Structure 1
Amino acid sequence: MSGSGGSSSSSKEVANSIWEEIESAHTVTDHQLSVLHFLFGKNLQKAAKMVDQRCVKKIAGEPSGRFVFQVVGESRRKEEYLCFPEHYCGCYSFFYDVVNRGEQLCCKHQLAARLASSLGSCEVVNVPDDQLALLLSNL
């Protein structure tokens, strides 16, 4: 999805309102899926598949409660990407399609993390804050 900042901004607002609805109900309707598919295209289908295959973990630091998501990619290598659903992913697509070319609002890993989190369907792994800090220092 390309376009001016206004188009991108309004798309993000629509997406955020849909995510809030999903989070409050912990379920997703066909209508919500169709709107998200319109906004995110093929990345949404790939993200939903990753959520169905339980590829998303929420790594939470204790006692701070800070967290990052770890998403297992689709490739045969099963690479693990750390991401913040609204801001960052360590994958190639994030840098190429989102940051560099501005063609997507986010990558499939960010979508998978957001969807799993909104549905309450990701595994939560609690770690000490210093271990979380070490993990994040490798980004």
Structure 2
Amino acid sequence: MASFGSWSTGFCDCFSDCSSCCLTFWCPCISFGRVAEIVDRGTTSCCVHGLLYCLLGGVTHFGSLYACIYRTKLRRTYGIEGSQTCDCIASCCCVQISICQGHRELEARGFDVSAGWDRNVQMCTRGAMQMQAPTVEIGMTRY
């Protein structure tokens, strides 16, 4: 049986990170797009996710269901306790707070959410390269 952890911040801890809180309140499509791109590991861009969220939310009011799908993906990816029902309730009742919590969760796990998936991978790879010992050529040489 898999062990589950909890969210790094509470659901209503929006003001612990004012920048993500303000971004999510005023431009939820951008914040959602950034979170979804990282959860999807860069298979779809932030712009596509943000546009879909905006279209679904503005035209059909299904943006919160789209956000629910990605909240569930994020929770399952990182082994966070909860259920799909709770994810849907959180996303349908308080979609911006739900998106903001996902944003904070990814940052707590070391992601620079504003950088996107590819940039995070580059930064991680670059850090790993700096931690490696230098290569030494092996062979016979004459002095």
Identify the structure with the greater helix proportion.
2
- The structure having more radius of gyration, on CA atoms, is 2
Identify the structure with the greater strand proportion.
1
For the aligned pair, the TM-score class normalised by the smaller chain equals: under 0.3
What is the TM-score normalised by the length of structure 1? 0.27
What is the TM-score normalised by the length of structure 2? 0.27
